[in-house]
Amino acid sequence: MSDAYMRLEFDKAGNIRFRGLPSICADTLMRLPDILASDDPAVRLRLLPETYRDPQDRDDWRKYAVPGLEHLFADRVEIIARDLVSLAEDGENLFEMAIPAAHRTAWLSALNAARLTLYVEAGLDPEDVELEPGDLEDFDQDVALMRIHLLAFMQEMMLEGGAGFRVDSDEPGGDHQ
Amino acid sequence: MGDWTPDCTQNTSWLPAVGTTRASTQEQTVTEDKTRTKTAPPWNIIVHDDPVTLMNYVTKVFMDVFAYPESKAQLLMREVHDAGRSVVWTGAREQAEVYASKLVSFHLLTTVEPGVGSD
């Protein structure tokens, strides 16, 4: 009998392997590239917020900072999509997936972006996030809430397992100059 | 809170010397004005609370971006959570923009605002 619970393993190099992922979790992971590609203006405003109050400063920010951030976000989507190729059934109706150590920053950030995107697109309120899946009457909102919690659980496992951000991140233009 | 401190401790050329004459005092005043105009006003980086981002994620981001010790990062995270916002760093504008860009890259809700002494 297999260990039928979701867990995370590290090897000596810091590479991660998620094991025991239920099918709903695998389904949510497979949707990540699409979730992260959202062109909803409200999502875009949340992920690329108005950082300055002054109109001229805002224009400068959009001109000089936003293109680099957009490029970084797009690179992360590519990394996530590439790693998702490793998502596979383990023969026990559960799934497993490998994340290279150098992709940890991309994954932690992308999981956060996906959770924010789901929250904004579903029109959830701050109080909704405190609820459990099944508590919301609206089906689409309830599914979004469930996915937000699932991705949070994965994020928590990575953070609590010591998988902080990596200085030797693969990210082009990196977050860690 | 924040790491920015005025640089006046390093440049003391404008300080009046003991026994200065009236003429030299005027000269020193001019020098003082010039020195002050060279000191860039500080800018604040403010992180705002959001209901989705995990608290320990925010702590890790503060540790990563600013190299804050965990205790300070947790204190700031707690302030963001409890007060709705926190000034997480204060200093020169150029550096503020670099830090703000990093925080936004991690999807923290971030604004940059002029601090005391800015226009």
How do residues B38-96 score in pLDDT, each as one tens digit?
677 899 999 999 999 999 999 999 999 999 999 999 999 999 999 999 999 999 999 99
Cα–Cα distance measured from residue B101 to residue A27, given in angstroms and rounded to the nearest whole number: 32
Position A84 scores a pLDDT of 98
- Would you tell me how many other CB atoms lie within 10 Å of the CB of residue B58? 26
Whether the per-residue pLDDT at B1 is higher than 80: the answer is no
CB contact under 8 A, B52 and A119: yes
**Residues pairing with B91 in the sheet:** B43
Position A163 scores a pLDDT of 52
Q: Are the CB atoms for B97 and B112 separated by under 8 Å?
A: yes
pLDDT means over runs of 10, chain A (177 residues) = 73 91 95 96 96 95 96 96 96 92 95 98 94 90 96 92 55 39
pTM: 0.81
Query: Which residues of A, range 112-141, sit inside 8 Å of B by Cβ?
Result: 112-113, 115-116, 119, 125-126, 129
Cα–Cα distance measured from residue B104 to residue B65, given in angstroms and rounded to the nearest whole number: 11
Position A175 scores a pLDDT of 36
ipTM of the modeled complex: 0.88
Position A162 scores a pLDDT of 64
Task: Please tell me chain B's helix, strand, coil percentages from 3-state DSSP, rounded to the nearest 5.
Answer: 50, 15, 35
B63 backbone dihedrals φ, ψ, rounded to 5°: -65, -40
Position B41 scores a pLDDT of 86
Contact A69/B at CB under 8 A: yes
Q: What is the mean pLDDT of chain B?
A: 78
Position A134 scores a pLDDT of 87
